Amino acid sequence: MNDTKLILVLADQLCTQQPALKAAVPGRDIIVMAEVAEEASYVRHNRHKIALLFSAMRHFKIELEAEGYQVEYLSFESGTPSLEAAVASVIARTEVSEVVICEPGEYRLLEQMKYFWSSALGKPVTLLEDDRFLASHNDFADWAKGKKQLRMEFFYRKMRERYQILMDAGEPAGGKWNYDADNRVGWRNQVEIPSRPDITPDEITASVIDLVNAEFPDNPGDLARFRLAVTRTDAERQFDWFVENALGDFGTYQDALVEESPWIFHGLISMYLNAGLLEPLAVCERAERAWREGKCSLSAAEGFIRQVLGWREYIRGIYWLLMPEYKTRNTLEATRPLPNYFWDADTEMRCLSRAIEQSLDHGYAHHIQRLMVIGNFALLAGLDVMEVCDWYLAVYVDAYEWVELPNTLGMALYGDNAVIASKPYAASGKYIQKQGNHCQQCRYKPTKVTGPDACPFNSLYWRFIDKHIDKFGNNPRMGLVVANWRKRDPDEREVIVSWADKMIEDWT
């Protein structure tokens, strides 16, 4: 009996420790990897993302072959339309008994594979749970069961205990679970930002860059600036560099907004974690070791570990717990079309223009730019939630729906019926001014609420509170803001809201 298995490896599953590859037998099974039009164009992906994935796949193929695996690699030039077509074409010219795949990270693809592939391909299709994450679907569902509120903080504490990260004799290291309060320092040019080590694209990457430039002329992304790691070894080097040179200041300036640097002291590792080039537990353990060896403060290590062990796993848990219904939510009924400047950064709002520009050019913006600049603006202006989500899915090099959707719809847009955020992450220009130095370069004034030079975030903020006051009035975390707004002179309120109403067409 022929027991050769066809193992499909997706572009974001590039490690031998993923379950489908763990089950593969060199010499017997056939590994299939494919660069396909459907995956490369279901949104207008940033060219950096396509180049990263195609080049990393091509490098991974070489590694697998060196380990004795037979790999059928369909490059983009083969014109393969979809992953299903790729698998079908290999089945047609080989003898395989079964198709085995580590489950994909997007519901859209999971549904196709689960319900349609087996009959279309005429072979059994086995989907294995992706165990590269630290909480399984069942773990998360068990934790969520019976809870009225699914707060990240309590999930995170469970994960710390379970994996014994930053724990001392059953207690959180240093006596506190969370050092978030130390992580909100605004940028005033206090310390030098270290320059990032350069990775020169090798021949494989250079030819992928040419391909992507030629095939995706209308996508965002300036590939002359492509400096991403495309192998595990280089991704690990990048992470080592971060631990040695930036982790120390990561916590303090995690929320800072800086004109001069798109990444400040951030890790720049989400694209590697999500593609399989780094492992979440290993990076957490390394950050803990750095603290225990005295290389960084506890608050820096904890701040970093909370993101990976807490937020990243929690966000994924929410996605799989609540999809597909989750994607249909739109709590604040936000439907205003996305302004064109989301695709060319041409706006006079300096903070927004800088954040959008670097997102388009590099495929990267750090968390506070995504949440409190771009997301905050979309929230205040009532931009259409699905258009905004599709934009985030397109422009970032680390974007896959399992992580992009809950962050955008739930955290940034307060659109998921308050599952992720207990109050909207809404802020006026004052917050952006406090966190950094964009306002100094802006034609608007963060101190003004109305008038031609007033910061648009200010009147939009109060318009947002006014518009949704019925929804927020009973929210204890919004009580003070709502009370302050109600206390204001009605004429003054009217002036602010009408100014925002009058100007919103200009700003959006």
Site string for ligand FAD, 167-196 (x = CB under 6 A): ------------------------------
Instruction: Considering only the stretches 14-22, 132-140, 265-273, 474-482, report the one whose residues sit in contact with ligand FAD under the rule CB under 6 A.
Output: 265-273
Binding residue (CB under 6 A) for ligand DLZ from 14, 51, 53, 125: 53
399 binds ligand FAD (CB under 6 A): yes
Contacts of the segment 50-53: beta carbons below 8 A, 24+ positions apart: 50/212, 50/216, 50/219, 51/205, 51/208, 51/209, 51/212, 51/221, 51/223, 51/226, 51/228, 52/228, 52/230, 52/271, 52/275, 52/397, 53/11, 53/12, 53/275
Cα 108 to chain center, whole Å? 18
236 binds ligand DLZ (CB under 6 A): no
Residue 366 interacts, among ligand SF4, ligand DLZ, ligand FAD, none and using kind-specific CB cut-offs from 5 to 8 Å, with ligand FAD
Q: Which SS3 state, helix, strand or coil, does residue 63 take?
A: helix
Nearer to ligand FAD, 72 or 313 (CB): 313
14 binds ligand DLZ (CB under 6 A): no
Nearer to ligand DLZ, 228 or 290 (CB): 228
Tell me the C-alpha distance between 458 and 468, whole Å.
16
Identify whether 406 is preceded by a cis peptide bond (ω within 30 of 0).
no
Please report where in the chains the tokens 């309060």 appear, as a residue: 181
Residue nearest to ligand FAD (CB): 267
Q: What are the residues whose beta carbons fall under 8 Å from the beta carbon of 367, sequence distance 6 or more?
A: 254, 266, 307
50 binds ligand DLZ (CB under 6 A): yes
Give the strand pairing for 98-102 and 125-128. Answer: parallel
Nearer to ligand DLZ, 132 or 366 (CB): 132
Tell me the C-alpha distance between 471 and 423, whole Å.
11
Site string for ligand DLZ, 378-417 (x = CB under 6 A): ----------------------x-----------------
Cα 155 to chain center, whole Å? 19
| Footprint of ligand FAD on 321-380 (CB under 6 A) | 366-367, 370-371, 375
Tell me the C-alpha distance between 280 and 269, whole Å.
10
10 binds ligand DLZ (CB under 6 A): yes
Measure Cα distances from 47 to 208, 324, 369, 386 in Å.
10, 28, 20, 21
Binding residue (CB under 6 A) for ligand SF4 from 24, 173, 351, 426: 351
* Interacting residues toward ligand SF4 by CB under 6 A: 349-351, 429, 432-433, 438-439, 442, 444, 446, 455-457
* Interacting residues toward ligand FAD by CB under 6 A: 266-270, 273-274, 304, 307-308, 311-312, 315, 366-367, 370-371, 375, 392, 396, 398-399, 403-404, 407-408, 411-412
